[in-house]
Structure 1
């Protein structure tokens, strides 16, 4: 687990940065990737705002 919400958010930002590039350029999965990245953004935002429970 993370020591603080800020640490959790920072970890998610690093993970998202690793996932965001699409070197294979697989267009058929673009919508799935977009949903995945949007979910990461929402979770990281909740951690940043201290909304974790």
Structure 2
């Protein structure tokens, strides 16, 4: 399974408009990251993503 996740991460960052990719579990623990992101970013980015998902258009 780890190899499958790594392949998805590598495929994702092939897009030149993507600066980095981070995958976390439901507890905000990092499962993998590439390029400009590191494991220490997992908590902050997960919180931002969850907050953004709760935004509603005006």
What's the TM-score bracket when you normalise by the shorter of the two chains?
Answer: 0.3 to 0.5
Which structure's relative contact order is higher, taking Cα pairs within 8 Å and 6+ residues apart?
A: 1
Question: TM-score if structure 1 supplies the norm length?
Answer: 0.38
Q: Give the number of the structure whose residues are more often helix, by fraction.
A: 1
Q: Give the number of the structure whose residues are more often strand, by fraction.
A: 2
Question: TM-score if structure 2 supplies the norm length?
Answer: 0.36
